[in-house]
């Protein structure tokens, strides 16, 4: 696929947030786009690696024709410092203007900011959603192996789980995420969000092994009809 770079956003520290849009015949009539996001949390290198490997594979594949937006590293400041939060110490996945947003945080690492959508990284992300309306959002994270879905994309979660056997959760009832993308996407844009949590690095778990374990699943996700025909 051929991708063009869109006008970048800016982080708290003035770093560029790069975003890319696929150029294909489907884009001529596209009204909604499939999103791939990496490194919302800067210290989750495992998820960022999966997003990067998937993006690189898409760029090498000329048989796929669908409207896609990719933001490989959302939290560029945190990624550079290997820190979960952005340059203001804000958890970007608690800062979006969902109905559940709250100024309170269970721990410092979940600090949601002084107001919803206070952070430039999320303002950029929302501006992309407004310009290129999302049909489906795939956001890569790392915590423990689990596929979390919000909105009407259970069948996509089940499709991926059929390959990697990760458990599926519709809601993290024991781990509330007010102001998260999983809340904001369905509420504001009617867009389902799949948060793909891969395992963290440990003995026997490497960046390469995480991609290898999930490579077939994501390649099939984008080469079969399921991502094009599922009802969001």
- CATH number of residue 184's parent domain: 3.40.630.10
Question: Judging by DSSP bridges, how do beta strands 20-23 and 9-10 pair with one another?
Answer: unpaired
Share of the chain above pLDDT 70, in %: 97
Structure confidence by residue, pLDDT tens digits, 119-148: 999 999 999 999 999 999 999 999 999 999
pLDDT confidence of residue 26: 62
pLDDT confidence of residue 6: 98
Domain that holds residue 55: 2-229
pLDDT confidence of residue 172: 67
Mean of pLDDT values over 178-200: 97
User: From residue 162, how far is each of 34, 64, 153, 218 by CA, in Å?
Assistant: 21, 22, 15, 11
Q: How many domains does the chain have?
A: 1
Mean of pLDDT values over 202-218: 96
User: From residue 138, how far is each of 8, 149, 153 by CA, in Å?
Assistant: 20, 9, 10
Residue 148: strand pairing partners: 169, 195
Average pLDDT, the chain: 94
Long-range contacts of 89-92 (CB under 8 A, 24+ apart): 90/118, 90/119, 91/41, 92/40, 92/41, 92/119, 92/121, 92/122
Q: How confident is the model at residue 182 (pLDDT cuts 50, 70, 90)?
A: very high
Share of the chain above pLDDT 90, in %: 88
Structure confidence by residue, pLDDT tens digits, 28-87: 678 899 999 999 999 999 999 999 999 999 999 999 999 999 999 999 999 999 999 999
* Residue 118 clears pLDDT 90, i.e. is over it: yes
Count CA atoms within 13 Å of residue 162 on its CB side: 9
Mean of pLDDT values over 205-227: 95
pLDDT confidence of residue 171: 74
Mean of pLDDT values over 75-100: 98
Q: How confident is the model at residue 173 (pLDDT cuts 50, 70, 90)?
A: low
pLDDT confidence of residue 228: 83
What is the model's pTM?
0.96
């Amino acid at each position: 696929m051929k991708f063009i770079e869109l006008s970048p956003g800016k982080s708290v520290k003035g770093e560029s947030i790069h975003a890319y849009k696929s150029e294909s015949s489907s884009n001529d009539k596209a009204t909604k786009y499939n999103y791939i996001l990496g490194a919302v949390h800067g210290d989750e290198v495992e998820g960022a690696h999966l997003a990067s490997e998937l993006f690189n594979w898409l760029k090498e594949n000329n048989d796929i024709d669908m409207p896609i937006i990719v933001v490989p590293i959302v939290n560029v400041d945190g990624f550079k410092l290997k820190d979960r939060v952005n340059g203001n110490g804000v958890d970007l996945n608690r800062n979006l203007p969902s109905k559940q947003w709250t100024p309170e945080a269970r721990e410092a690492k979940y600090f949601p900011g002084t107001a919803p959508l206070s952070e430039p990284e999320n303002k950029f992300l929302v501006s992309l959603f407004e310009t290129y309306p999302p049909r489906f959002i795939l956001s890569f994270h790392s915590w423990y192996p689990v596929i979390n879905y919000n909105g009407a994309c259970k069948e996509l979660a089940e499709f991926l789980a059929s390959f990697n056997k990760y458990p599926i959760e519709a809601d993290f009832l024991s781990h509330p995420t007010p102001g998260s993308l999983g809340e904001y996407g369905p509420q504001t844009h009617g867009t389902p969000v799949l948060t793909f949590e891969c395992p963290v690095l440990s003995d026997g778990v490497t960046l390469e092994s995480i991609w290898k374990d999930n490579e077939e699943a994501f390649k099939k996700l984008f080469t079969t009809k399921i991502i094009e025909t599922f009802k969001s």
